[in-house]
Amino acid sequence: MYPYPYLASVDPEAQEGTFVYQLSAHYSGSENSSTEISYARIAGGEERFDVDTDTGVVLTTGLPLTPDREYVVTVLAIDEYGSKSPYAFISILAGTRPPQFTNTSYNVFVPENTPADEKVAVLEAVSFQSQPLSYTLLMNPSGLFSMEQGTGELSLTRTVDYESEHHLYHFLVKAAEAESLLSSVTEVIVHITDENDCSPEFQQSIYSRENILESIPVGTSLLQVLATDCDSGSNSEVLYFVQSVDFSITPEGAISSNQRLNFERENHMYEFVVIAVDNGHPPRTGTASVRIRMTNVNDEAPVFSQAV
CA distance 102 to 105: 9
Per-residue confidence in pLDDT tens, the chain, 308 aa = 467 789 999 999 999 999 999 999 887 655 556 678 999 999 999 999 999 999 999 999 999 999 999 999 999 999 888 889 999 999 999 999 999 999 989 999 999 999 999 999 999 999 998 899 999 999 998 899 999 999 999 999 999 988 888 999 999 999 999 888 899 999 999 999 999 999 999 999 999 999 999 899 999 999 999 999 999 889 999 999 999 999 999 999 999 999 999 998 889 999 999 999 999 999 999 999 999 999 987 666 666 677 65
Nearest to 58 by CA among 102, 93, 20: 20
CA distance 288 to 276: 9
Nearest to 126 by CA among 90, 157, 152, 165: 152
CA distance 130 to 30: 33
Residue 178's pLDDT is what? 86
Residue 284's pLDDT is what? 96
Residue 308's pLDDT is what? 58
Contact partners, residue 40, CB within 8 Å, separation at least 6: 51, 53, 75, 76, 78
Contact partners, residue 289, CB within 8 Å, separation at least 6: 205, 206, 207, 271, 272, 273, 274
